[in-house]
Structure 1
Amino acid sequence: MPDNDSDLLMQVARTLRRCWAAAYAPMGLTPHQARALRVTGEQDGLRLSALADALRISPRSATEVVDALEKADLVARQPDPTDRRAILVAVTARGRRTLATLAAARTKDADDFFGRLTDHERAALRDILGKLAR
């Protein structure tokens, strides 16, 4: 058992990440690729630099992630209509379907994981985590 609160919180986060990694694997995605797809799907196209910033990774690493997602036909690069020199990354139709599958898997895994808690405990946990996140 972890020695302190931060170790315990990290153990819980790692456990959730393992659950999600197992859910993403049949789709051929790593957790990092799934997160990049989710971030890209929240926009109507975004620049690689914006994706790198959102993921807190280097632009070179963002390029590698987008290359893999593009190869899987989950995203596509397209010209930025506001700047001909820039390229936007947008989710494809297949990517949208994959996002829906990812969201369902994450929701199911979270429901299973947190299902051990009572409604009262879940509400208290949300309050605590929200306070810590601010």
Structure 2
Amino acid sequence: MPDNESDLVMQVARTLRRRWAAAYAPLGLTPHQARALRVTGEHDGLRLSAVADALRISARSATEVVDALEKAKLVTRKPDPTDRRAILVAVTALGERTLGTLAAARTKEADEFFARLTAAERAALRDILGKLVP
């Protein structure tokens, strides 16, 4: 059993990530692909460099992630209307539907994970964690 707060927080985060990864697997998505899809879905077209920055990965790695999403028809590449040299990544209609499925899976897994806490404990946890988020 971890003996300090930072180890406990990391263990909780790892456990949630594992649960989410298992929930994404039936959709054929890795956690990086799911996160890239979520980030892209938050914008109406996003440059590949912005996807890489959001995922904190190299541009080359982001290209591989976006290639997989494009192959699955979840995103498409299109020219940037403000800079014809640049390419934007945009979510397709199938990608939008998949985003809904991902959100539901994340919520379900988190709800099941935190179900062992009472409503008061969950509220206290949110308050505590909220104080730690910059």
TM-score w.r.t. the length of structure 2 is 0.98
1:2 aligns with 2:8: no
C-alpha displacement at 1:4, in angstroms?
A: 1.3
Deviations 1:44-81, CA, capped at 9 Å, x for gaps: 01000111111111111111100010010000000001
What does residue 116 of structure 2 align with?
Answer: 116
Q: How does 1:1-134 map to 2 (within 5 A)?
A: 1-134=1-134
The residue type paired with residue 28 of structure 2 is G
C-alpha displacement at 1:3, in angstroms?
A: 2.0
Following the alignment from structure 1 to structure 2, what is the Cα–Cα distance between the partners of residues 103 and 33? 14
Stretches of 4+ aligned residues off by more than 3 angstroms: none
Supply the RMSD in Å over aligned alpha carbons: 0.7
Q: Which runs of 5+ in 2 are unaligned?
A: none
1:86 counterpart SS class = strand
TM-score w.r.t. the length of structure 1 is 0.98
Following the alignment from structure 1 to structure 2, what is the Cα–Cα distance between the partners of residues 58 and 103? 26
2:3 counterpart SS class = coil
The residue type paired with residue 98 of structure 2 is T
Deviations 1:76-120, CA, capped at 9 Å, x for gaps: 000001111100000001100100000000011111111111111
Q: Which runs of 5+ in 1 are unaligned?
A: none
Residues matched between the structures, number: 134
Identity among equivalent positions (%) equals: 85
Following the alignment from structure 1 to structure 2, what is the Cα–Cα distance between the partners of residues 47 and 119? 41
Deviations 1:4-27, CA, capped at 9 Å, x for gaps: 111111110111011101100000
